[in-house]
Structure 1
Amino acid sequence: MREEFESRVSWPFECLRCLHVWEEPYVVRHLADGHGGTVEVWSKHGLPVQPPWSGPCCPACGSSRLTSFPPGYLDRHPELAAADPLPPARVPSLPVEPVTRPAARVPLPRRLLIATGVPVLAFVGYEVYRYLLLPAMTHH
């Protein structure tokens, strides 16, 4: 691949959880593959990254429920970037309860295994008899 050209794009986002609005700068390298196709390589701070539409997270609350605006949208609407309704420290969070796991696996009671296993075994046995053995016995 050989490099054709490079462009700088500032991609605006809004978090749908905390309504935080911000922009992320990207560098897009447009490459030709030598077979008539083109490839875009997105990077931030010199490192290759996924394109902006492939699931970034909010820097204020960590939510992945985002919406994006067209590049340059916040330049035409500066009131959106200045209107940050909740600062990151005031974002309400849900209490998290610790997950407790049993130390050892508790075996199922034998009665439960017998109550479910016997009907399944009877059904499978009947189906085998009906489809394999019964036709063989009727066609001598």
Structure 2
Amino acid sequence: MLDGFETREMWPYECLRCLHVWEEEFVVRRLRDAYGNSAEIWLSAGVPVQPPWSGASCPSCGAHHVTWFPSGYLARHPELVAEPEPGPAPVFAPAPASWPDSAAATRRSRLPGRLLIALGVPLVLFLGYELYVSIAAAHAGR
């Protein structure tokens, strides 16, 4: 005899290659038999799949280097979810005066540059100091 229940879980992901953010819904069936053994079955659109933390790939670029966030993370951080691209304007309507800016995409695309600066400047200072100390020690030993 099997005892169990199922829950719906939303898993937010981010591609570490193209920075695309998306969510996927899973149904998790948790089963327990008469001996106390338990099992989980993960379903996506009614089809059994691997757990969300294994083997996810980006629907935008196809990369397998993705990360996931805790459940409900995107609801608390809506600025991470990109707005859909505007479609072509209908023929009978005038073109909009300006398209939505991509400030969020620009802000996120500068992150690698900031990271390089944050890591590079201390590294250059450390190497410069070590070089200075070794040259000073070489001159003092003459």
Normalised by the length of structure 1, the TM-score is: 0.57
Residue aligned with 1:85, SS: helix
Which residue matches 2:116? none
Name the counterpart of 2:39: 39
Distance in structure 1 (CA, Å) of the matches to 2:43 and 2:3 = 14
1:104 alignment partner in structure 2: none
Contact 1:20–1:85, Cα closer than 8 Å, also in 2: no
1:74-96 deviations in whole A, cap 9, x for unaligned?
1111111137739xxxxxxxxxx
Match of 2:72 in 1: 72
CA contact (8 A) 1:12 1:21 kept: yes
* 2:82 is the alignment partner of 1:62: no
Larger Rg, first or second structure (1 or 2): 1
C-alpha distance in 2, partners of 1:81/1:42? 25
* Structure-1 separation of matches of 2:33 and 2:2: 7
What is the root-mean-square deviation in Å for CA atoms of aligned residues?
Answer: 1.8
**Count of residue correspondences:** 86
Deviation at 1:55, TM superposition (A): 1.3
TM-score with structure 2 length normalisation? 0.56
Q: What secondary structure is seen at the aligned counterpart in 1 of 2:30?
A: strand
Partner in structure 1 of residue 105 of structure 2? 85
Note the C-alpha offset of 1:3. Answer: 4.3
| Alignment-mate amino acid for residue 52 of structure 2 | P
| SS of alignment partner, residue 64 of structure 2 | coil
Task: Indicate the larger mover: 20-29 or 2-11.
Answer: 2-11
Runs (4+) of structure 1 moved beyond 2 Å?
82-86
- Which runs of no fewer than 5 residues in structure 2 stay unpaired? 84-103, 107-142
Higher relative contact order (CA 8 A, sep 6+): 1
Equivalent residue for 1:9?
9
**Residues 45 and 3 of structure 1: is their aligned pair in 2 closer, same or farther, counting only changes over 3 Å?**
farther
Deviation at residue 2 of structure 1 after TM alignment: 2.0
